[in-house]
């Protein structure tokens, strides 16, 4: 049963890859599958077989994106990395079962944890040394 699930997952992933490769190369799924054969190819071989257009890393990808978006070489690119990195406290709280956080932490500590999470790498934050609650 476990092997069947893993096989189904691999087939799903491969099917998605072949579909996207066919769409990107303006070929049919059958044409790509005939070449790819479910195998892993080196970059150079993949270029020869028409599975990829060219080799390169992030810089090459940004160069292609710049060309397609008609952004000049002197213009600045803004790179957004997704998903956003999570801070330590976000990861810690994410792993807690629902309701556990509320039972373990007082409201004051929860508030401090939220603020500490915001401090991660977004630059300076101004905060008063007290919390104002209006009822």
Measured from the Cβ of residue 58, the count of other Cβ atoms closer than 10 Å reads 8
Highest mean pLDDT among 7-16, 83-92, 101-110: 7-16
What pLDDT is recorded for position 124? Answer: 61
Judge whether 113 and 93 are in contact, CB under 8 Å.
yes
Asked whether the beta carbons of 29 and 22 are under 8 A apart, the reply is yes
User: Whole-number mean pLDDT of the chain?
Assistant: 80
Q: How far apart are CA 32 and CA 53, in angstroms?
A: 13
Give the start-to-end residue ranges of the domains of the chain.
2-68, 80-135
Give yes or no for a contact between 88 and 80, defined as CB atoms under 8 angstroms apart: no
More confident residue, 2 or 121: 2
Q: How confident is the model at residue 103 (pLDDT cuts 50, 70, 90)?
A: low
List, for residues 57-100, the tens digit of each pLDDT value. Answer: 988 989 998 999 999 988 988 888 877 777 776 766 666 655 66
Is residue 24 within 8 A of residue 46, CB to CB? The reply is no
């Amino acid at each position: 049963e476990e092997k069947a699930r893993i096989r189904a997952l691999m087939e799903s992933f491969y099917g998605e890859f072949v579909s996207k490769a066919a769409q990107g190369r303006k070929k049919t799924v059958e044409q790509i599958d005939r070449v790819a054969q479910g195998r892993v190819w080196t970059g150079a071989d993949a270029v020869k077989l028409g599975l990829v257009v060219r080799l390169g890393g992030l810089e090459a990808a940004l160069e292609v994106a710049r060309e397609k978006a008609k952004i000049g070489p002197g213009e600045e690119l803004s790179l957004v990395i997704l998903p956003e990195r999570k801070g330590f406290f976000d990861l810690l709280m994410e792993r807690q079962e629902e309701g556990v956080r509320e039972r373990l932490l007082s409201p004051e500590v929860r508030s401090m944890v939220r603020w500490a999470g915001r401090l991660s790498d977004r630059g300076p934050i101004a905060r008063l040394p007290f919390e104002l609650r209006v009822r």
